Each structure stands twice: as C-alpha cells, then as structure tokens.
A and B are shown apart, each in its own frame.
Chain A
Amino acid sequence: MSTILKKNRNLAFPGLLWFLVFFLLPLSVILIYSITERSLISGEPVKFTMANFVQVFQKRHYLIILLRSLRISFFTTVISITFSYPVAYFLAKNTRHDRILIVMLMIPFWINYLIRIFAWKLILSDNGILNQVLMGLHLIDEPLRIMYTQTSVLLGLVYTYTPMMVLPLYASLSRIDDSLIEASLDLGASRFRAFFDITFRLSLTGIFAGTLLVFIPALGSFAIPAILGGTDSVLIGNMIENQFNIVGNWNAGSAFTLSLAALAIILVLSYSRIFGLESIYRNRGI
C-alpha cells in the first residue's frame, strides 16, 4: 500500500518502545514481586506465593482503608460533578468570555497543589481563618474541629480536583448544538425534560472524561490525606507509601500497588461500558 502510510508508521516506534521499557516492563517487575516472597536482588531462590494479595483482602485493617479510599474518592467525584456542572454550563452557554475564564480556572494548577492544600490547612485548622471568622462573628463559641478528619481530606480533594471536572464538562456542553434543545422544546418537551433528554445526556461523555481526571488521582492520593488527614483518614496511597518507606516490604507493597491499579482500571472500564472507551479521547476537554 501507500509508502507514506508505511513511513508514518515508523514514527510510532520510539513511543511504543518507551511504553514497553518504562511502563510495561516495570509493571511486570512489580507483578513478579507481588507473587513472590523475597527480594529479587537478594539472590536467594524465588518462591511463588499468593499470600501478598490474600492479605490485602483478608486483614481487616487493610480492608477498612481500601473501602475508605473508595468511599472518599467516590464522594469527591460526585461532589465535584455537582459543583462544576452549573459552572461548566454557564461557561458553555451563557457567556462570551468563556475562553478567558477557562484560562483563569487553569491558574491554580500552575501553583503547586501542595501550596493550595496548605492554604486549606490555614483555613480549616482549630485556630484557622474559618474559626477566627466564625468566632469573631459570635456564630460559634468553640472552634469547629474539621482539620485532621476525613471531612478535611474530602474538602481538600474536592478543592484540588474540581477544576479538572469543569474542563471536559465545558468541552462536551459547548459542543451541544442549541438547535437540538430548541427542537426538543418545539416538539413539546418542558424545559426540564429538554435539559435531561438532550443537554444532560450529551454531556455524559464530559462527565466520564472528568471522572477519569478526578476519581483516579483521588483514589491514589497521598499528599492530601498526609497533610489534611488524621489517623482515621489514611488512604491506600499512604498505606503503600508506608509499605515501601517504613515497613520495607516490597512484596506486600507491590501487591497493594497492583491491587490499586487493577481496582482503578476495573472500575473505570466497567464505568466506561456505559459510554464506550473512545469517548475518553473523543472529548477535547482533556
């Protein structure tokens, strides 16, 4: 066939090679760690075992952390969809200054998110700004205890990742042709129905793309729970970090890591069955 297509094809190989060597190969290495007992470097004979994986789902302590991570990332996603939908809708349909507002929305991303999380610590801590304001107004007598709870972790995650939801939502909403809604109203639908049947349904791809950008980082978050959370808000990310940096058990750590990766992939793939996987890259928001 065309020689142009053949030559173009060769351009893909450096990237594919990189992907193979620096992504798939490392993944296979931790896969080996996760199903063996000792370090591969030690030189001792390798013994295969499933014990690393079994403990993830058997030890009550680990299971609690796993479920907590799922719950918190789920709520982060739901809240961020709720928060950002009206904003995305306004940007897409009700204003002509949408481009500059989108650029403004991107500004916080350039300022490291740890600094932004630190600001939330200033706001939420016992003698923080929120409590100073509320006590100054005599709305409360003693400080609200928000800091170092799951609530503060959730607030931090929502704050950090919500703008990530706005962008793909905005992209999917602004692509909806207004004449579709007019047609639906014309055919006798109420405004409410027209919104649900047309606008909302067509924005589902945006919600899906946004969910990838919110749910997955929230599920694997480490720094936000480490800064804002207390002992009751340890998430999988912190648990994995602990396995590698404190406990030093690479085999168990690898099993945790793979479980987290598999969990994220399975959840997203089953979720994507609703939309079709290609909607991820069809959506220009990301």
Chain B
Amino acid sequence: MHIVDGALSNEVVIAGSVLAAGGIALGLRKLDIEKIPAAGMLSATFFVASLIHVPIGPSSVHLILNGLAGLMLGWAAFPALFVGLLLQAVFFGFGGLTVLGVNTLNIALPAVLVFYICRQGVAARSAITSAVWGGIGGTLSIVLTTLLVGASLALSGDEFIPAAKLVFVTHIPVMIIEGLLTGFAVYLARKVKPELFAELTVSAEATS
C-alpha cells in the first residue's frame, strides 16, 4: 500500500506532508524520557512484523499491524511509524521520498483513530472482550488505511479512481487477517502481561 513518488498531485503531497508533520510533532510531545526506549522498541517490533508474510489463498501478504501500533503507542504511533517508513524507503527502496508524509499519514492516522475508538474496549476486564476490540481495531485500521490511500489517489486525478477502488477490494482479505491476528496478539499480551493495556490507557489519559 505504499504510494510511490510521482503518482500524486503536488497539492496532495504538500497537504499530506503538513498533516503528517503535525501528527509527528504531537506524537513527539507525548514521548518523555521514560517512554523513548519503549517507543523505539515498539517501532522496531512493527518494522520486524512487517517482514512477516502470512499465506492468503494462493498468494501471501505482509503484515502492517498499524491498528496494534496505535493501541500500544497512541499519538506516538506517528513518529514510530514514520521512522519505519523512512528506513524502508532509504534501505529497501519501498515507497518514496516526497510521498513519505502522505504514506505516514495513511498508516498512522488510522492507528491514532483506532487508539481512541478501541482503547476502552481493549482495556476491558475480560481478556475475550479485549481481544474482540483488538480485532475490531486491527480490521478498522486497514479499512481506514485503504480508504486514505484511495482518497490520496482519487484526489490526485480522476484516472486513479478505478485503481483506488481496486486497492480497497483487493485488501478485504487483508482486513480480515489483520483483524484476526491483532485480536489474537492482544489476547496473548493480555494473558501474559495483564497490566499492559491498562497501563497504556491510564498513561495516555494522564498525558492527554
């Protein structure tokens, strides 16, 4: 779902970059000394997770897990995912340089929205409820990301609208799988470290 250089109109690129910069600035303000190592570690975890391929029909997809990133990081998902995208572009040639802002926005904004929508549910007392909300968050983040990618393309030119629709349709299986995986990941994290999400929700409320 990376958009490459040259595909988008200047207006979309500039607007995306400005919004992404705002998100990153907000995220950085929420990162105090205590949280820098944890955020760096999570950023690395999501980078490694994006290397995992999961079979899907005859093909396979790599994980994005931006919903999970949002649940764990809140606004800090913006700088954390930006760092991941920057490293991917520079060292692996994925995405592009001028579209870095747009790509960050498309991945990180859904993460933050999922954080606000699902954090109460994930912090629920029962691990099953928590996992279901995690699953909702995992699916929702990919739905939102494909919509944003589609919007970035469609706003750049009408000729991209069929491609934007295609992106959405082809990602429906990804939405389901990301939902399942996020749900199971949240379930396990809750079982192994029950205080994990409760802690994050409390700290997020304290800083916001």
Q: Do A and B bind each other?
A: no
Please give the residue numbers on chain B whose beta carbons come within 8 Å of chain A beta carbons, in ascending order. Answer: none
Please give the residue numbers on chain A whose beta carbons come within 8 Å of chain B beta carbons, in ascending order. Answer: none
